[in-house]
Amino acid sequence: MVADDDEAQAELVRRYLEHEGHGVTVVHDGRAALDALRHAAPDLLVLDVMMPRVDGLDVCRIVRAQEDLADLPVLMLTARSTEDDLLLGLDLGADDYMTKPFSPRELMGRVRALLRRSARTAASREPGPVLSAGPLTVDPARHEAWAYGRRIDCTPGEFRLLEVLAERPGQVFTRGQILERLHGFDRYITTRTVDVHVMNLRRKIETDPRRARCLVTVYGVGYKLSDEDAGEPGREQRGGGA
């Protein structure tokens, strides 16, 4: 499904997608997108941010709140390129984003990448055991994560990242290793996506995101989940990182 109020751009995207063999539904506002999604879920949603009636950010928020659409891959298109806009889009559950203007060839590459990732996720969705790392617990079967006794509301991308790190508490993963575990080698996915997910997770997990004690940066290398008890929120502990 392509949701974009720019009819010329939506038509261009539709033609490229159909050329690659995809069936395409095109809508031009957020309300029409939500109405269409109630009748049939597509394999992927290409979603413009700036749309009338209901904007793309609200569409993404509503989609992620619905159990039957929670795993729908969402590629967000935006004319905004600031870090705050990127953080907001990924925080609401978008899987990838592109800023306008964009190359149709790169767009198709990202579409192929998201569809491959979605297929791999569906094929390997046999849930593993409950994972623990310091104050963090990750339950793949229930798709739930907890820290300091509080449930964490994660986007699909954030939850997959926690699963990867929680499988080996204390081990440092480079950004490249994290991406390879999550998506395979794919030149259309950047390490910046990892950094954004980490920043969002810290806001949800840590008492003070600027002094992370659970999801820790190892400078010049990458990230790890602490395998030590980080203590109760509000208590001072030695160690950690930012």
> Which CATH number fits the domain that encloses residue 72?
3.40.50.2300
Distances (CA, A) of 87 to 56, 90, 97: 14, 5, 11
CATH classification at residue 182 = 1.10.10.10
Asked if 237 and 208 touch (Cβ cutoff 8 Å), the reply is no
The answer on 167 and 68 residing in a single domain is no
Considering the domain architecture, whether residues 55 and 145 belong to the same structural domain is answered as no
Write down the pLDDT at residue 13. 92
Q: Which pair of structure tokens corresponds to residue 24? A: 């395409």
Tokens 């940066």 belong to residue: 217
Claim to verify: residue 199 and residue 144 sit in the same structural domain: yes
41 and 76 inside one domain: yes
- Same domain (yes/no): 135, 117: no
pTM for this predicted structure:
0.64
Q: Quote the number of domains for the chain.
A: 2
Q: Residue 120: what pLDDT?
A: 57
Same domain, 93 and 139: no
153 shares a domain with 42: no
**242 lies in a domain?**
no
Q: Is residue 236 part of a domain?
A: no
Last residue of a domain, one of 123, 144, 177: 123
Q: Which of 156, 151, 4 is nearest to 67 (CA)?
A: 156
Q: Are residues 177 and 105 in the same domain?
A: no
Residue 195 and residue 114 share a domain: no
Domain of 182? 131-225
CB burial readout 115-145, b (16+ within 10 A) else e:
eebbeeeeeeeeeeeebebbbbbbbbeeeeb
- Residues 12, 89 within the same domain: yes
Instruction: Give the residue from 70, 88, 123 where a domain finishes.
Output: 123
Identify the pLDDT of residue 230.
45
104 plus 6 within the same structural domain: yes
Write down which residue in 94, 123, 152 finishes a domain: 123
**pLDDT averaged per 10 residues in sequence order, the chain, 242 residues:** 94 93 95 93 92 91 85 84 65 80 85 77 62 90 87 83 91 88 56 82 87 90 81 40 37
In a domain, 238, yes or no: no
97 shares a domain with 196: no
Question: What pLDDT was estimated at residue 137?
Answer: 93
Single out the residue of 33, 89, 105 nearest to residue 57, CA to CA: 89
For tokens 């094929």, the residue is 123
In a domain, 14, yes or no: yes
